[in-house]
Amino acid sequence: MTTETAKHRELGLTDSEFALIVEKMGREPNVVELAMFSLLWSEHCAYKHSRKLLKQLPTEGERVVMGPGENAGAVDVGNGYAVAFKVESHNHPSAVEPFQGAATGVGGILRDVIALGARPIAILDSLRFGELDSVRSRHLLDGAVRGIGHYGNSIGVPNVGGEIYFEAPYEHNCLVNAMCVGLAKTEDMVRAAAAGVGNAVVLMGALTGRDGIGGASVLASAELGEGDEAKRPTVQIGDPFEESKVLECCLELLEKGLLVSLQDLGAAGLTSSAAEMASAGGLGIDIDVARVPLREADMEPFEIMVSESQERMLAVVEPARVAEVLAVCEKWQTGSAEIGTVTDNGQVRILRGEEVVGDMPVAALVDGCPLYDLEPGEPAGWIYGNRATLAAGISAEDELLALLAAPSIASKRWAFEQYDSVVGSRTVRRPESADAAVLQLPESGNAIAVAIDGNGRRVACDPQAGTIEAVLECAQNLACVGAEPLGLTNCLNFGNPEKPATAWQLDQAVSALAETCTAIGVPVVGGNVSLYNEGPEGPIYPTPVVGMVGELPDPTQVAGSAFAKEGDAIALIGPFSPTFAGSELAKQRGALDKGLPRPDVAAVAAACAIVRDAVRAGRLASAHDVSDGGLACALAECAIGSGLGCRVDVQPLRDRGCSPEDALFGEGSGGFLVSGERAELEALGGVLLGEVGGTKIEIAAGDRSLVVGLGTAESAWRSLDERLDSPV
C-alpha cells in the first residue's frame, strides 16, 4: 500500500469505499477529486447510516410547499404565503469551540432558509450540556449562548424560543441544534436545482479562505477522542455582518427575478453546493477555482473546493443578467464573482483557468455513496449510569423546590435575555410567557406558532415511547397557543451507529417518529442527522429534537401559560397518566432505568384539538403543557408567572391509578393544565383540580400534600440567574 492510497483512510473513507470510487471513475482519483469524494461520502454529507431509515418518514401533505431535499422545508400558511423552516446541528464544532461553533450553526441554518428565497423571521435553539457542576459544561454553555446571541442579534433575527438541558451523558459531546423560520410569498420561492445549460454560476458573499478545511464533515464522521485539541484550527469563524449583507442582497436579487436558482454553502463548501445543484437539476457543472475570490493568495484547488468559509451563497444566473447581479452585490458591499457554468455532461469539472484539475460524475459524487444497514442490538439494561443528588425521605415541599431549581427545569432567563426576542415586530409571545412562540404575520393576516422540543433521557429509557413523547410535546405546546401543526423538522442526535445499542436506538426512534407523524397527520419537511456523538465515557442519550410550525388565525386570541386571575378554576385536560419512570425526580433519586409506558397518541391528539379550539375561542384564561417535573412543577410555573397562588387537589389523578408521588412529580404525555371559568372548563371535558388564589402553592396529595410559598418557589425556579453568574 503506497502512501498515496493510504491517504483515503486519513480522510475517513474505507478501503471498499475507495475501491468503489475507483470503479465509478474508471481510474484512481487525484488529490482534488479525493478531497471532494471524501467530504461528500462522509457521514455528515451522505447520511450513510441513516438514509435508508429516513425513507420511512412521511413527507407529503396538502400544505407542503417544499419537502426534504431542498435547502429547507416549507409549508403553506395561507393567503399566498409560505413559511420555510429547518433545524440543524452543529454539535462537534461547538464541543471544540462553543462560541464560534454555535454562532456558525446559526449562520448556517439562516442561509438554508435564505436559499429558499425566504426572509428569516425567527430563530430557536435546543442545547444540551453536561451537569452544571462541571467547568467544561459551564464553559460550553456560556460560549454557546453568547455565540447564538452574537450571531442572531447582529443579523437582526429574533430568537423566540428554545430549550436547555443538563445531563451527564452530554458532558463530552454537547448538543447545539439551531432552528430557523422564514417567510416568503409562495410564488417567489426558489429551488436549488441548477437549470439552463450555459447559465452562469455566481459565487456571492465572503472571501474564501482556509476556514474549516476538512472541518464539519471530518469532525462529524468520527468520535471525539483525546487529541481533539488539534481539531481546533478546523473550526469556522462566523461574521454576521457579512451575512446580513448577503441576506439583503439575495432577497433583492430574488425580488428582481435575477436568479434561476440559489444554494447556500455549508458543510463541504463549494464541493457540496456545486455538486448538489448539478445533481438536483440532472445536469453538470464547471467551476473555475482561479475565479474564486480568495482571502489567502496561495490556496490550492482542493483547498478552495473544500473550504468552509462562512457567509457564501451560490447562484445560477442567465448570462445576460450577470452584470445586474454583480451590481446588486456591489450595492450591498458583498463580494461576487462569476466562477462557472452549468453544463449538460453530468460531470462536475474543476478547472484552474484552462487546466482541468478534477473531473467526476455528478451521480457518483452525490448518489454513489454506499448506504449501510444498521445492525441494531437492544442493550440488556440501563447503560447510562445513575447519580443520586436528592436524599430519600425528604418532604414533598423540598422535592418540589429541588425540581424547580433543577437546571433542566429552572427558568432560562439568564440565557434568553442574551437574545433579542423582539426585532422584526412580530413577536406576540416572548420566551417563557407561553408554551410556544407566536409570531404575527400582518402581510398574511394570521399568525404562526413555533416550538422546539427534544428528549434525551426519556428516549434512552425507551426509544419508541420517548420519541413519541417528543413529537406530542411539540404538538401540545402548539395547541396551548391555539395553533394547528403544519409541518415538522427534526434533528436526530445519536452516538456511533456502528455500535449495536446506538443502532437499535436510532432504528426505534426513526420508526416511532414516522408512525407518530403519520398518526397525527404532520409531515416531515426536512431535517438533519448528527451521529458519532460519543466520547470516552460512552454515547450521548439518543436525542431526537423536533421543531414544529403551526398556524393560528387570530394572534389576539393566544393564551399565555401563567394563571390570569384570582378565582379562576384550574383543570386538567387530556389522558395524562404520569409515572415515576424516566422522570426528573427519578434522575435526582438515581433511579433511572429502561422502560416507559407507551403514550396513547390518538387520545393526546384529541386533547390537542380540544385545547386548540378552546384557546381560539377565548374559552381558556391560560394553557400550559405538563412536562418536566410533572404536575406540581407545571402548577408552580403557572403560579410564579402570574404572581397568584393556587389551591389544588390531585385526587382525579389518583383516581386514574397514580400514587400521590406520581400524581405530583410523575411525567408523561397528554397533560394540559388550564385555567378559566369553571363552567367552561367542565364543558370542555376538563377534570377540575382546584382554583387560582392566595399567595401559596397548595397541593393536596394524600400523604404527599404540600404547601410552598410563592416567593420561595420563585427563588428556586429563578436560581439559575445567580448560579450562572457565579463561578462553578
Partner 1 sequence: MIWGVLQFPGSCDERDALHACSRLGEARLVWHEERDLSGVDAVVVPGGFSYGDYLRAGAIARFSPAMEAVAEMAAAGAPVLGICNGFQVLCEAGLLPGALLLNESMRFTCRQVDLIAARDALTTPEGGQVNERRDQEGERLSIPAKHGEGRYWAPEEVLDALEANGQVAYRYAPGQNPNGSARDIAGVRNEAGNVVGLMPHPEHAVDPLTGSTDGLRVFEAVAAAGAPA
Q: Answer yes or no: are the C-beta atoms of 450 and 439 closer than 8 Å.
A: yes
Rule CB under 8 A: say whether 417 interacts with partner 1: yes
Residue of 30, 154, 496, 518 interacting with partner 1 (CB under 8 A):
154
Instruction: Give the C-alpha separation, 348 to 365, whole Å.
Output: 9
Q: Is there a catalytic annotation at residue 624?
A: no
Q: Is there a catalytic annotation at residue 44?
A: yes
Residue of 177, 221, 427, 455 interacting with partner 1 (CB under 8 A):
427
Q: What mask of x and - would describe binding to partner 1 in positions 211 to 240, judged by CB under 8 A?
A: ----------------------------xx
Minimum distance from residue 714 beta carbon to partner 1 (Å): 17
Residue of 94, 153, 307, 343 interacting with partner 1 (CB under 8 A):
153
Minimum distance from residue 639 beta carbon to partner 1 (Å): 21
Sign of the Cα pseudo-torsion (42, 44, 49, 50, in order): negative
Minimum distance from residue 120 beta carbon to partner 1 (Å): 12
Residue of 80, 156, 198, 233 interacting with partner 1 (CB under 8 A):
156
Quote the distance between the C-alpha of residue 199 and its chain's center.
35
Rule CB under 8 A: say whether 330 interacts with partner 1: no
Residue of 6, 135, 422, 617 interacting with partner 1 (CB under 8 A):
422
- For cell 382546584, what's the residue? 690
Minimum distance from residue 433 beta carbon to partner 1 (Å): 11
How buried is 265 (Cβ within 10 angstroms: 0-12 exposed, 13-18 middle, 19+ buried)?
A: buried
State the helix-helix crossing angle for 135-155 and 98-114, rounded to 10 degrees.
40
Choices 74-82, 143-151, 188-196, 250-258 (CB under 8 A): range interacting with partner 1 = 143-151
Amino acid making up residue 296: E
Rule CB under 8 A: say whether 333 interacts with partner 1: yes
Choices 384-392, 425-433, 525-533, 637-645 (CB under 8 A): range interacting with partner 1 = 425-433
Choices 104-112, 152-160, 375-383, 658-666 (CB under 8 A): range interacting with partner 1 = 152-160
The smaller minimum CB distance to partner 1, of residues 149 and 497, is found at: 149
Choices 6-14, 255-263, 393-401, 421-429 (CB under 8 A): range interacting with partner 1 = 421-429
Q: Enumerate helices (H) and strands (E) in the chain, giving the number of each.
A: 27, 28
The smaller minimum CB distance to partner 1, of residues 119 and 291, is found at: 119
Q: How would you list the strands of the sheet with 427-429, edge to edge?
A: 427-429, 437-441, 446-454, 543-552, 484-493, 524-530
Choices 244-252, 346-354, 514-522, 672-680 (CB under 8 A): range interacting with partner 1 = 244-252
Residue of 8, 426, 499, 704 interacting with partner 1 (CB under 8 A):
426
The smaller minimum CB distance to partner 1, of residues 168 and 450, is found at: 450
The smaller minimum CB distance to partner 1, of residues 236 and 427, is found at: 427
Rule CB under 8 A: say whether 386 interacts with partner 1: no
Q: Which phi and psi angles does 374 have, rounded to 5°?
A: -75, 155
Instruction: Give the C-alpha separation, 321 to 407, whole Å.
Output: 55
CA neighbor of 89 nearest in space, from 189, 219, 212: 219
The smaller minimum CB distance to partner 1, of residues 418 and 659, is found at: 418
The smaller minimum CB distance to partner 1, of residues 107 and 340, is found at: 107
Residue 182 has which C-alpha cell?
A: 422564514
The smaller minimum CB distance to partner 1, of residues 245 and 696, is found at: 245
Minimum distance from residue 331 beta carbon to partner 1 (Å): 9
Instruction: Give the C-alpha separation, 400 to 403, whole Å.
Output: 5
Rule CB under 8 A: say whether 209 interacts with partner 1: no
**E strands within 130-281?**
159-166, 175-185, 200-205, 261-264
Minimum distance from residue 695 beta carbon to partner 1 (Å): 22
Query: Could you say which residues in the range 69-98 bind partner 1, by CB under 8 A?
Result: none
- 3-class secondary-structure state, position 491: strand
Minimum distance from residue 240 beta carbon to partner 1 (Å): 7
Alpha carbon distances (Å) from 333 to 46, 254, 317, 336, 608: 35, 17, 19, 9, 48
Residue of 18, 47, 166, 419 interacting with partner 1 (CB under 8 A):
419
The smaller minimum CB distance to partner 1, of residues 5 and 333, is found at: 333
Q: Which of 8, 44, 150, 624 is catalytic?
A: 44
Q: Which of 90, 92, 150, 624 is catalytic?
A: 90
Instruction: Give the C-alpha separation, 110 to 71, whole Å.
Output: 10
Question: Which residues 6+ apart lie within 8 Å of 329 measured at CB?
Answer: 204, 249, 335, 336
CA neighbor of 156 nearest in space, from 447, 415, 426: 426
Residue of 187, 425, 726, 727 interacting with partner 1 (CB under 8 A):
425
Quote the distance between the C-alpha of residue 589 and its chain's center.
30
Phi-psi region of 205 (alpha: psi -120 to 50; beta: other; left: phi over 0): left
The smaller minimum CB distance to partner 1, of residues 49 and 111, is found at: 111
The smaller minimum CB distance to partner 1, of residues 154 and 719, is found at: 154
Minimum distance from residue 415 beta carbon to partner 1 (Å): 10
Q: Which phi and psi angles does 235 have, rounded to 5°?
A: -80, 135
Rule CB under 8 A: say whether 440 interacts with partner 1: yes
The smaller minimum CB distance to partner 1, of residues 14 and 333, is found at: 333
Rule CB under 8 A: say whether 412 interacts with partner 1: no
Question: Which residues 6+ apart lie within 8 Å of 309 measured at CB?
Answer: 206, 207, 208, 209, 211, 212, 236, 265, 269, 295
Q: What mask of x and - would describe binding to partner 1 in positions 547 to 576, judged by CB under 8 A?
A: --------xx--------------------
Rule CB under 8 A: say whether 155 interacts with partner 1: yes
Quote the distance between the C-alpha of residue 150 and its chain's center.
18
Minimum distance from residue 420 beta carbon to partner 1 (Å): 5
User: With b meaning 16 or more CB within 10 Å and e meaning fewer, what string describes 691-719?
Assistant: bbbbebbbbbbeebebebebeebbebbbb
Q: Answer yes or no: are the C-beta atoms of 545 and 493 closer than 8 Å.
A: yes
Residue 489 has which C-alpha cell?
A: 423538522
Amino acid making up residue 400: L
Minimum distance from residue 86 beta carbon to partner 1 (Å): 22
Catalytic (active-site) positions: 44, 90
Interacting residues with partner 1 (CB under 8 A): 146, 149-150, 153-156, 239-242, 244-245, 248, 332-333, 416-428, 440, 555-556
